[in-house]
Structure formats: structure tokens, C-alpha cells
Structure 1
Amino acid sequence: MHEVLHDQLLSMARYVRDPQNSMPPPGIETRRLAVYRQLFFGNMESLLSGGFPVIRASLGAEKWRTLVDTFYARHRCQTPLFTEISGEFVDFLAEGGGGSLDLSPWVVELAHYEWVEAALLLNDRREPAHDPEGDLLAGEPLLSSLAWPLAYQWPVTEIGPNYLPQEAPEQPTLVLARRGADKKVHFSRLAPLAHALLTSLQERSCSGRQHLNALAEAIGVEPESILPQGLALLENLRAQGVVLGTRA
């Protein structure tokens, strides 16, 4: 009895996900199954439309619906949480799940850029112990977990229905996404040096002086030549709450 019910539920789930390539469970009218299909798919489409409004507007209603339909039919989510479905959609695109739809190459990066806002809003990670007044050169500057330096090949901050680039620009789009004290997510463009410093803070644990020395070496200048500018940048980032201070 349990095996029969299990098979029926799996058959129904397959049909609701992908009615074009699945047989309906026996004994249930396709008219009734269509109601379930519309309810489930409608919820998914509504959820993703709210999370990726720029992609939806840029692709157009028909192509967007086809993309969501493909995601719903083919992707196997690793979480039952609605708040994490957007991340699953980003993974689906990054893994080439929309390849059969001939999507523009910027779609993957734009999806990530749109997802970042929700990810930061829902981020509940606690900041580690730190000294907000610590010496940013001698100590280890601590980047807030609510501040993410981002780099994109495509101009994700500009893409929309009225601007659909055919070629990626020579320079990447460097962005800082952060959740402020007002509980809102703010995006700002970054200069290459600022992005490099923030990425270094994100990836390495060392003193501020060591971070700046590594940057100086990377761009082929003496450390003393960028030290004043680098320290001023660190202090400015601390004033914004991007750098918390130094690790305790």
C-alpha cells in the first residue's frame, strides 16, 4: 500500500513539474492535474519574478516563462526553503541549465547581481569579536560579513530592457554591495585599488600593512607610495561600517 502511494506521488510530482515529458498518474483527470500545475508553477514564477525583475523585463514575458519552466522541470533544488530558491536559480544558470534557450551571456552575472540583494538582506551571520578602534595598519582589518566586493565581466549595473549589450566591455564592473545600519542593501561602484584591497581583506588574514604591501607588489610600486592612500581608504571604509575595526 505504501509503495503504491509512493509511486503515485512521484508520478504526480513528475507530471506537475514537466507535463510535456511525463505521464500523468492513473485515475486522475488531466484537468485536475492542470490546476495543481498552475498553482505550483504560478508560485515559482511569482517568486522568481520578484527576485529577478531586471532579467524578467530584459528577456520578455515569453522567454522568461520558458526559462522558469525549464528551471522548474530540470533543476533539483537542495533546499525546501522558499528564501533560498533564488540562490538555486543562480546555480542553475551558472551550471548552464538555460543553455538550450540561447540566453545572452550576461544573464548569469545579472542573476547573481540581483540575487546579492536578497542574500544580504537575509544574512544572519554574527560578526566576530573585534576592536572598532584598532590600529588598521598594525592590526588585522576585519571586513564586515555584510559587505561583499564583487567583480563582473558584464556591466550588470546598467543592463535592462533598453540596454542589452552584445559584447563585454574591456574593463570589469567592480561593485561593493553592503547592508547598512538602515537594514537596506546599498550598491556602489569601486575603483580597482579599492576592490583589490577589499578582496584581499576578504581572502587573507594579515595586518593592514601586509595587505597594502601585497597590493603594492602586485601593481609594481614601492609600498611607501600607496601607504597614505591605502590607510585613508581603510579609515574611510571603517567610517562606513564596511571595515569593522581590527580582529580581537
Structure 2
Amino acid sequence: MPRTAELHALQRDFAACIRDPARDELPPGVASRRMQVYRELFFNNVEGLLSSNFPVIRTLYAEADWNALVAAFLHDHRAQTPLFPEIGREFLRWLEQRREDGRDDAPFLLELAHYEWAELALALDEHEIAAIAHDVDGDVVSHVPVLSPLAWVLGYRFPVQRIGADFRPAEAPAEPTLLLLIRDRRDEVSFLEINALTAALIERLQANTQASGADVVAALLAEVAPANAAALQSAGEAILRDLQARDALLGTQPT
């Protein structure tokens, strides 16, 4: 066997031993005590990353159960990237596969994991508000609003923002949960629970390049609530101003 191929085979064998603590057969020349040190270091690093990426999920498990879940992730999943900031996405992919396989996870677990992952993903998003052309003091009602790329609408079957050790719903409620995740000018991430009308308004603002905020609201209301459009117009415009105050709307297109 060529030397390079021999080295790769040894590396794969070594990694397999780290992934599977129950494996007795060790690579040639590696003592059991030394392998155990590597196993513990590797496990503790990944466990720490997952605990910090998914703090709410961590509270749902007793220590032994959580460690078993992490061990199963290490044993079963083949990550597509070596980057530590991407481990949350890899864990999410693994949970998706578990659901497809019919594993007995909590029915809300995958959605909760996505919600926690999204918070970190938004915090790491490379968009810079300062690089986006906009008039921060512009009137988003009378002029063309500029939607922040750091404002994400998320939809879930479960109220993920409420789930914790004391609230673990067994069934999804009749109405879905819609959330607006925002990273503001101070790079702080927050969420806002929104209704379907606000979500539809944000979707229209994302595609809008010419109409004023008031016109976008009016066009939306003419479609979804024509009988009450005039009465709801002021409420829609108030939503625009609130979105601007939260930095979901950065301002208006510069004149």
C-alpha cells in the first residue's frame, strides 16, 4: 500500500475509534488509555459546542440522555464541513434524518432546533447594514421602504419561542407560529411574534422597489381584506413604523 494511502487508512481507523467508544479494536500502536483521552476530548468539545448552540434543547434532557444524544450524533452523522460554526447546521441535518427514519424524538424537536440554529446563523450572517444604501430617517410610509436582509420571517407548527423544560407540547396547535428574527444596528438578535398579515407585508416589501410603504399596505389589504381595507390602512402603516423602529426596515431608498 502506498504511504499516503496507508496514512489515510490509519486516519480513518483512528477517527472510527473516536466515534465509537465501544469499539475494542484499536489502530496499531495506539494504547487504550491514550485512545480514551482522545475520545473524551473530542466528545467534550462537540458536546460543548452543541450545548452552546442549542441551550433550550439542552435543558430538555437529563445529563445522561443528552450525552447519549450527542454520542449518537458523533457516531451516526457524517459532517459536510469541518468548521465549528457550522456544527449547528450539521446537528440540524442529523435531526432531519432522524425524523425521516421515524425516530422517537419529541414532535417539536426539529423545529426548535431550527429556531435555535437560526438565531446563531443570523448572528453570523455577513450582511452589513452600513453597506446597504438607505436613508435611515426616511418616512417608510410615504417613501419606498428598504427591508433589512437581517430580518428573517420564520414559520413553525409549534410555538418554539415558548418551549422549555416546563412547556413541552405533545401536539401542534391549530394555528402556526410566525416569527420575525431581527439583527439590529447594534448586532443584537431579537425576535417578534407576528401574524400572517405582517408576514405577507414583509414578503411584499422584500420584492418592492418602487411603491411607497402606504401603497404596499393598500395593495395587500385590497387583496386580503377588501371590505375593511380603508379601516385597516392606518394599522398597516403603524406596522411599517414599528418595523423601522426595530431595524427590520432600515429606512427608505435614498433620493
Which residue, 223, 229, 233 being the options, matches 2:235?
A: 229
CA displacement, residues 111-146 of structure 1 (integer Å, 9 cap, x when unaligned):
112222222222221243223345645754222122
Q: Alignment length, in residue pairs? A: 247
Distance 2:238 2:38 in 1: 59
- Specify whether residues 155 and 47 from structure 1 end up closer, same or farther in structure 2 by C-alpha distance, changes over 3 A only: same
**Mapping of residues 91-106 of structure 1, within 5 Å:** 91-96=93-98, 99=101, 101-106=103-108
- The residue aligned with 1:168 is 172
- Specify whether residues 205 and 70 from structure 1 end up closer, same or farther in structure 2 by C-alpha distance, changes over 3 A only: farther
Q: Greater shift after overlay, 123-132 or 46-55?
A: 123-132
Q: CA deviation at 1:224?
A: 3.9
- Specify whether residues 159 and 15 from structure 1 end up closer, same or farther in structure 2 by C-alpha distance, changes over 3 A only: same
Distance 1:225 1:123 in 2: 38
CA displacement, residues 131-189 of structure 1 (integer Å, 9 cap, x when unaligned):
33456457542221222222211111221111111111112222222223343222222
- The residue aligned with 1:195 is 199
- The residue aligned with 1:8 is 10
Q: Greater shift after overlay, 37-46 or 51-60?
A: 51-60
RMSD: 2.6
- Specify whether residues 92 and 205 from structure 1 end up closer, same or farther in structure 2 by C-alpha distance, changes over 3 A only: farther
Tell me, what secondary structure is at the counterpart of 1:59?
coil
- Specify whether residues 124 and 162 from structure 1 end up closer, same or farther in structure 2 by C-alpha distance, changes over 3 A only: same
- Specify whether residues 138 and 115 from structure 1 end up closer, same or farther in structure 2 by C-alpha distance, changes over 3 A only: same
Query: Are the aligned partners of 1:55 and 1:110 in contact in 2 as well (CA < 8 Å)?
Result: yes
Q: CA deviation at 1:99?
A: 4.8
Tell me, what secondary structure is at the counterpart of 1:56?
helix
Q: Greater shift after overlay, 132-141 or 119-128?
A: 132-141
For structure 1, list consecutive stretches of 5 or more residues without a partner in the other structure. Answer: none
Which residue, 66, 69, 87 being the options, matches 1:67?
A: 69
Q: CA deviation at 1:31?
A: 2.5
Q: Supply the AA of the counterpart residue of 1:165.
A: P
Taking structure 1 as the reference length, what is the TM-score of the superposition?
A: 0.86
Distance 2:249 2:107 in 1: 33
Q: CA deviation at 1:17?
A: 1.6
- Specify whether residues 172 and 97 from structure 1 end up closer, same or farther in structure 2 by C-alpha distance, changes over 3 A only: closer
Which residue, 187, 205, 208 being the options, matches 1:205?
A: 208
Taking structure 2 as the reference length, what is the TM-score of the superposition?
A: 0.84
- The residue aligned with 1:151 is 155
For structure 2, list consecutive stretches of 5 or more residues without a partner in the other structure. Answer: none
Distance 1:30 1:219 in 2: 70
Distance 1:219 1:23 in 2: 69
Distance 1:23 1:138 in 2: 72
- The residue aligned with 2:188 is 184
- Specify whether residues 74 and 212 from structure 1 end up closer, same or farther in structure 2 by C-alpha distance, changes over 3 A only: farther
Query: Are the aligned partners of 2:135 and 2:252 in contact in 1 as well (CA < 8 Å)?
Result: yes
Q: Supply the AA of the counterpart residue of 1:59.
A: Y
Q: Supply the AA of the counterpart residue of 2:79.
A: C
Q: CA deviation at 1:110?
A: 0.8
**Mapping of residues 110-125 of structure 1, within 5 Å:** 110-125=112-127
- The residue aligned with 2:223 is 217
Distance 1:22 1:224 in 2: 74
CA displacement, residues 18-67 of structure 1 (integer Å, 9 cap, x when unaligned):
34469532332233212111111110001101111211111322222222
